[in-house]
Structure 1
Amino acid sequence: MKSNQNPTSGTEVVSVDGLRVHYERAGQGPTVVLLHGSGSSLEGFERVAALLSSSYDVIRPDLPGFGRTGPRPDRDYRVGTYARTIARFMTALHVPHFAVAGNSLGGNIAWNLALDAPERVDGLVLVNATGYPGKSLPAGLRLARNPLLRPVLRRWLPRSATERGLREAVGPKSAIVNDAMVDRVHALTSRPGNRSAFVDFANTSQPDRSGEITRISTPTLVLRSAEIDGQHFARDIPNAQERVHPDGGHLLPEEYPDWVATAIAEFLRTKEERR
């Protein structure tokens, strides 16, 4: 599990589970891991990381199948597999315990990690996280599940589709979707193997572990946009705190990074003071 600098991207790289996991790390203090959502990359938490790094050791990986890390050789995109990979990733970085915050899929991975390795997770922040059945799917996942479109999407995705997906993912007052953002997301999505990995991920059968959520014992903060539906973490996790943003969309860490970073910092600071 050797870690080294990647000179072409500015990220660092560590070998885990046969993957070259790309990540960025900045700051000093207690460690916080930030996990992005599906179709995104470590840039999804860029501004949040910059704000937190004055007080924390902030680590942002590109999850397998996305960003610069690229597809898994075994094509296993179950959330439980993601959680085990992140645990081994943190072991490779010699970090025995940490807080973890995740957006969407990243939040799903985070709470699965808290269930499976509670001795390692000091704090849990779920940002528009997923994991309950019945949640409405974004357009990209719906398209990737269409048997007629799957072969096409493995080879080609128009930039216009990337832009449309981003605009659907943000709140009505958000102005963050511009040419630079669309170009960045589209370029990372178009890296070799990533489109096919997204189709594999979208068509992976995910075991329903929502009945186990009540067993989470890690101190938890739930950050949710008012328009996000069907998720009940604040109800089901004992003593969980919740904050709701009235205007945010699915990409809350990019739309309102100051709000997200402040909420995370206050939660972690309060948690430390209570120890």
Structure 2
Amino acid sequence: MTNTQSIPVDGQRVHYVRAGQGPAVVLLHGSGSSLEGFERVAALLAVSHDVIRPDLPGFGRTGPRPDRDYRVRTYASTIARFMTALGVPRFAVAGNSLGGNIAWNLALDAPERVDALVLINATGYPEKTLPAGLRLARNPLLRPLLRRWLPRGATARGLREAVGTNTAIVDDAMVDRVHALTGLPGNRSAFVDFANTDQPDRSAEIPKISVPTLVLRSAAVDGQHFARDIPGAQERVHPGGGHLLPEEDPDWVAAAIREFLR
């Protein structure tokens, strides 16, 4: 597994990988994922940027928050404090899925910190369809079981459901990696807590986002209107991608980000 560093933020050690030199860009993974989700994108961006990838609280090696607060705005303020702890006052932020939701909340709440915003199949509009894992974790009969146990086959099914035409990326190595990281102590319980957290709807505030924004969206991903609602936003649509675009087509994602940040 990837060697990470860690730094104390909000009462826990946030694990991260940092590489490259240049303007800072932080990459935020989605729910049920980890910093590995951006591994190839990070390697491509590190040629020109200082690339920082944290494992978000509740996921990966960072593990559960002591206060069990998994609201998106709390995540956004944690990332702001994480970047302060690293001594990085300003940065671009790119996020996939939940990571994108955190990224745009951060751009709303701390615009003085965010130089640019990249939303990759980001969430945050109420009409978003829920992935199977979140639906299961909201089932009151399954919740106690899911806190302790999840079969590897369910991890594999969830990953296959999340990708588009490039299904070959969901190989044994990917399933093993995701299954091992979600199985670290406390992570399954944290995922259930996250899935059952009431997330206030801030979508009416999205038009107030004032930082330069790039929207990267897979054609098959529904119900998101960032390009319509954020003033001056640029949008690129990937024809065959699914939800895990940074892993499905990292070259396309990295090239789009690098051109946007130029």
With normalisation by structure 1, the TM-score equals 0.94
Q: Which of 222, 240, 255 matches 2:233?
A: 240
Q: How far is 1:9 from its partner? A: 5.2
Q: How far is 1:10 from its partner? A: 1.5
Partner amino acid, structure 2, of 1:110: A
Structure 1: runs of 5 or more not aligned: 1-7, 270-275
Partner residue of 2:132?
139
Partner residue of 1:11?
4
Partner residue of 1:130?
123
Partner amino acid, structure 2, of 1:104: S
Partner amino acid, structure 2, of 1:117: A
Quote the RMSD (CA, aligned, Å): 0.8
Partner residue of 1:180?
173
Q: Does 1:158 align with 2:151?
A: yes
Partner residue of 1:43?
36
| Distance in 2 of aligned mates of 1:61 and 1:219 | 22
Partner residue of 1:209?
202
Structure 1 residues 67-82: aligned runs within 5 Å: 67-82=60-75
Structure 1 residues 59-74: aligned runs within 5 Å: 59-74=52-67
Contact 1:36 / 1:104 at 8 angstroms: preserved in 2? yes
Partner amino acid, structure 2, of 1:46: E
Q: How many residues align?
A: 262
Q: SS of 1:244's equivalent?
A: strand
Q: Which of 93, 96, 104 matches 2:97?
A: 104
Q: SS of 2:168's equivalent?
A: coil
Partner residue of 1:94?
87
Partner residue of 1:4?
none
Percent identity between the aligned chains? Answer: 84
Q: SS of 2:167's equivalent?
A: coil
Contact 2:71 / 2:197 at 8 angstroms: preserved in 1? yes
Contact 2:166 / 2:248 at 8 angstroms: preserved in 1? no
Q: SS of 2:159's equivalent?
A: helix
Structure 1 residues 242-257: aligned runs within 5 Å: 242-257=235-250
Q: How far is 1:173 from its partner? A: 3.4
| Distance in 2 of aligned mates of 1:174 and 1:166 | 9
| Distance in 2 of aligned mates of 1:22 and 1:203 | 24
Q: How far is 1:108 from its partner? A: 0.1
Q: SS of 1:222's equivalent?
A: strand
Moved over 6 A (4+): none
Partner amino acid, structure 2, of 1:98: F
For 1:46-98, what per-residue CA distance to the aligned partner results, in whole angstroms no more than 9, with x for missing partners? 00000000000000000000000000010000000000000000000000000
Contact 1:174 / 1:248 at 8 angstroms: preserved in 2? no
Q: SS of 1:248's equivalent?
A: coil
